[in-house]
Amino acid sequence: MPKVSYVGDSALGTTVATNNVLYVWGDYNADGVGNGSGTPIEPDSAAEASSALVADAITLLSNNWDPAKSAKNLNDRTADDPEVSAALLTGNAPSDKLDNGKYSGGVENFPRFLEKWSGEDLVYRGSMVCLFESEIATENWVYGGNYYQAPIRKWGFNRKFAEGEYPPGTPNVRSFVQTHYGILTEKEWKIRVAALKAGFSL
């Protein structure tokens, strides 16, 4: 699994989508200075792209992640402090599906983890959206043991999203208000269509 540093295109934004699971390794669309230029709400700079990650499930890995240690003890998988700036649109394994008494992990565990994060910060700036049940990552959430220990969650809603600067392809909902309504005869319809075409020089 190659590691690729990424900072999005500030002019257009960037969306990465897969119908499989997605692993984000280290700083993503951010400078990695968690207590410096950016905050959980404020971007690192005006040039920071509006970004989204879309997948069946999303796991956040720190910069310290070592694939060679992925099957080792949790103490061998210690995390550091990454910074991630992206909307997460993904699924989960729902709580108590089929009356099994299992918990989904909630929003605090919506992004998945595989490391020992004890005492380490995860600065996350974005928006978390759960739209469906995962079809590939269907195992129920489990905490502790040899799975992971949670980070210090420094999470917030990206101000750029609040201002309407969305990543490409972002699902959205619009509403319409009916202001004028009338029934047209065929003749009236043809007259109005002709007027529109003339207005657009068609």
pLDDT digits (tens, 9 = 90+) for 74-89: 999 999 989 999 999 9
pLDDT exceeds cutoff 60 at 10: no
**Does 127 reside within a domain?**
yes
Total domain count, the chain: 1
**Does 200 reside within a domain?**
no
Give the residue among 34, 53, 66 at the shortest CA–CA distance from 169: 53
119: Cβ–Cβ under 8 A, 6 or more apart, which residues?
152
**Does 130 reside within a domain?**
yes
pLDDT digits (tens, 9 = 90+) for 161-202: 999 899 998 877 777 777 777 888 999 999 999 998 988 876
pLDDT digits (tens, 9 = 90+) for 106-150: 888 899 999 999 889 999 999 999 999 999 988 888 887 888 999
Q: What is the mean pLDDT of the chain?
A: 86
Q: How confident is the model at residue 36 (pLDDT cuts 50, 70, 90)?
A: low
**Does 5 reside within a domain?**
no
**Does 182 reside within a domain?**
no
pLDDT exceeds cutoff 60 at 8: no
pTM (two decimals): 0.77
Q: In whole angstroms, what is the distance from residue 200 CA to residue 194 CA?
A: 10
Give the residue among 158, 135, 154, 138 at the shortest CA–CA distance from 52: 158
Domain that holds residue 49: 14-174
